[in-house]
Structure 1
Amino acid sequence: MTSNKILYYRLHLTLLALIGVFLEVVKYGGHMFMYYTILSNLLVFLFMAYQVYLMMTQSEAIWASQKVLRSKAAVTMAIMITMVIYHILLAPIADDFWRVENILCHYLVPAMMFLDTFFFDKPRQYKWYDPFLWTGVPIVYCGLALFNGLVTKIPIKDAKDSPFPYFFINVTKYGWPYVLQMIAIICVVYVIGGYLLYAIKQINWSRKRVR
């Protein structure tokens, strides 16, 4: 695929990520930034906007460099866990599943980000220890969410577990053993997912020319 077509795809992905975040915040309020879903979609928007900027102003050696692609993999994992956790833990209890912003943030943007990484990024760019580094994203978020739930206690409108954004980190209700167990499970799944991405990108999927 040509660079122009990749740029066109990434412009659409950037716009969809922005629309999803915009709709969530405008419709439901600024407290939506307390949710991992919104922050991970915002992260996709910011990173893809940056990569689009690089594509429009720099050579491929820059916008497809190992440094950029390793950082992009961290963003890909961050948004993919959004889809996985939502689909497994939260979608079954969601009261308003079929909302445009919900589908955008939890399914379409994650899927498009994964496909972008899978099809467009050069193979063999990651370090063997990168999946552990990528796990820092959900760990930092859990720390911030727990800090708000226990210390700052900023209320999250309409959240059943406010000031905690999600039930599985509600220490007050379920206790530390349960919450730490859930965080550990998420981290293990995250690392496993990271190594799956690592393995996938170790393979050069492009067809070899037949001479």
Structure 2
Amino acid sequence: MTQLLAPSSAPRLGAFAEGALTFRLLALGFRIIAFAVILTGIVRITGAFTADPSWGALRFYTVLSNLLCLVWVALLIVRTVRDIAATGPRGHSTPSARWSGAIMMAITVTFLVYLIVLVPATFTQDSDYAPFSLTDNLIHIITPILLILDWLVFVPKGRLRWFDPLLWALIPYAYLVFALVYGGLGGEFAPGLRYPYPFLNVDAHGVGGVALWILALSVALIGVGYVYVCIDRLLARAVRALSSRG
């Protein structure tokens, strides 16, 4: 993957190049707003500025993936400001299209698992949990949408590789290893809760049942990764076709 802080070499002349807008000021404004929204969700779920913060929330993939997005968007802001100062307001300011895809996929896992698995199963993290609260929407829905929009609008297309979704899966797999080992050694994600999500409950599903859940989710989520790669290729091809006609 390209170096994260290398100067951008994307075209800066037109308003639209390599399948993405080249208005850096627009990108900067969007990314600043995204950073504020993501930070708000993290602060709300952890209660960071309350008298009794819930730092245990940091054990859940949802919060960790939001933190990952926060760091990435901060990097995008720094890169965009640097590029504006160095080469002007036109161009792409993304450290790496492939890393952008990886972060987008990591938070897409949060989005899809929440909507498809957790909400239908009436998942509860604590006694007063309610789906689709403001905090829930921020960390499970709005943050993923913001990262997907940033990729669609501001990230050059045609740079993803067919094996990238397999690499992207390493992020949620790393969390799975942590969750299973931590819970298996007696760690608790909440009082009396040794698993972060119901499909990882070995006591209820057995090792085989949990393995089947992981396999099914892996196939589904890697499949979504390939949807992103196909969109990337189609947009890049469409831009090349339009350029050749011009």
Common fold by TM > 0.5: yes
Amino acid at match of 2:196: P
Q: Which has the larger radius of gyration?
A: 2
Unaligned residue ranges in structure 2 (runs of 5+)? 1-20, 124-128
Q: For the residues of structure 2 that align with 1:131 and 1:71, how far apart are their CA atoms?
A: 11
Q: For the residues of structure 2 that align with 1:158 and 1:97, how far apart are their CA atoms?
A: 20
Counterpart check, 1:43 vs 2:68: yes
Give the corresponding residue for 1:85. 113
Q: Which runs of 4+ in 1 moved over 6 A?
A: none
Q: Map of 1:1-12 to 2, 5 A cutoff?
A: 1=21, 2-12=23-33
Residues 54 and 62, structure 1, Cα contact 8 Å, conserved in 2: no
Give the corresponding residue for 1:13. 34
Residues 27 and 80, structure 2, Cα contact 8 Å, conserved in 1: no
Give the corresponding residue for 2:17. none
Q: For the residues of structure 2 that align with 1:198 and 1:138, how far apart are their CA atoms?
A: 18
Q: For the residues of structure 2 that align with 1:34 and 1:173, how far apart are their CA atoms?
A: 21
Q: For the residues of structure 2 that align with 1:166 and 1:124, how far apart are their CA atoms?
A: 35
1:100 shift after superposition = 1.5
1:157 shift after superposition = 2.6
1:140 shift after superposition = 0.7
1:128 shift after superposition = 1.6
Residues 23 and 101, structure 1, Cα contact 8 Å, conserved in 2: yes
Q: Map of 1:19-58 to 2, 5 A cutoff?
A: 19-26=40-47, 29-58=54-83
Residues 13 and 112, structure 1, Cα contact 8 Å, conserved in 2: yes
Give the corresponding residue for 1:64. 94
Q: 1:175 aligns with which of 190, 200, 206?
A: 206
1:90 shift after superposition = 1.1
Residues 40 and 78, structure 1, Cα contact 8 Å, conserved in 2: yes
Q: For the residues of structure 2 that align with 1:132 and 1:98, how far apart are their CA atoms?
A: 30
Residues 14 and 49, structure 1, Cα contact 8 Å, conserved in 2: yes
Counterpart check, 1:136 vs 2:170: yes
Alpha-carbon RMSD across the aligned residues, in angstroms, is: 2.2
Q: Map of 1:96-135 to 2, 5 A cutoff?
A: 96-135=130-169
Residues 31 and 73, structure 2, Cα contact 8 Å, conserved in 1: yes
Q: 1:166 aligns with which of 197, 205, 209?
A: 197
Amino acid at match of 2:141: Y
Higher helix share: 1
Q: For the residues of structure 2 that align with 1:24 and 1:5, how far apart are their CA atoms?
A: 29
Deviations 1:20-65 (A, max 9, x none): 1111011760110111110111110001101111111135888335
Q: Give the TM-score normalised by structure 2.
A: 0.77
Counterpart check, 1:185 vs 2:216: yes
1:98 shift after superposition = 3.5
Amino acid at match of 2:227: L
Q: For the residues of structure 1 that align with 2:221 and 2:170, how far apart are their CA atoms?
A: 10
Q: For the residues of structure 1 that align with 2:197 and 2:135, how far apart are their CA atoms?
A: 18
Deviations 1:43-92 (A, max 9, x none): 10001101111111135888335xx1111110000101111110011113
Q: Give the TM-score normalised by structure 1.
A: 0.89
Unaligned residue ranges in structure 1 (runs of 5+)? none
Alignment: residue pair count: 206
Assess, with a 3 A threshold, how the Cα gap between structure 1 residues 194 and 31 changes in structure 2: closer, same or farther. same
Q: For the residues of structure 2 that align with 1:100 and 1:19, how far apart are their CA atoms?
A: 10
